[in-house]
Amino acid sequence: MAKAIAAPSAAPRRRRAVAAVRRHYASRGGARGILGSFKPVLAGAIGGAAANLARGYNAQFGGVAALGAVGYFMKNETLMTMAGVELGHNVLGMTGLGGAQQSSNGGW
């Protein structure tokens, strides 16, 4: 009598796939890695809100200070760059050489 050959189980292949997914997930930092990908967005949102709030106290340099502080403490180079750009814009406006220029025709 012929012995029936059992079909190979898919379980070992599935276990290997699940293990590979877990290794990849862990190599990316797990939950911290996923949340870490939102850190620049969070830093930008906090920096924008802080700059808007700080401009109410000091219209000229409040935004610069807020962006610089949030960029420094959250280790975000983009916010530090934005603070520098805004500072340069404000300082240049103080000298009278540039900055925000008003048009006599009301716009563009």
If one counts the domains in the chain, the total is: 1
Instruction: Give Cα 26 to chain centroid, integer Å.
Output: 22
Q: Please report the pLDDT score of residue 90 as a whole number.
A: 87
Residue with tokens 């059992």: 6
Check residues 27 and 93 and name the one with the higher pLDDT: 93
5 is a domain residue: no
Is residue 82 situated within a structural domain?
A: yes
**Residue 67 included in any domain:** yes
Q: Is the pLDDT of residue 3 over 80?
A: no
Q: Report residue 83 as tokens.
A: 């603070």
Classified as helix, coil or strand, 43 is helix
- Considering the domain boundaries, does residue 106 fall inside one? no
Tell me, yes or no, whether 80 lies in a domain: yes
User: Is 29 a domain residue?
Assistant: no
What pLDDT score does 11 carry?
Answer: 58
Per-residue pLDDT at 25 exceeds 80:
no
Q: Is residue 22 part of a domain?
A: no
User: Is 72 domain-assigned?
Assistant: yes
- The dihedral built from the CA positions of residue 7, 10, 13 and 16, taken in this order, carries a sign that is negative
- Within 10 angstroms of residue 14's Cβ, the number of other Cβ atoms is 10
pLDDT (0 to 100) of residue 26? 67
Q: Could you read off the pLDDT of 45-101 as tens digits, one per residue? A: 999 999 999 999 988 899 999 999 999 999 889 999 999 999 988 888 888 776 455
Q: Which domain holds residue 78?
A: 36-95
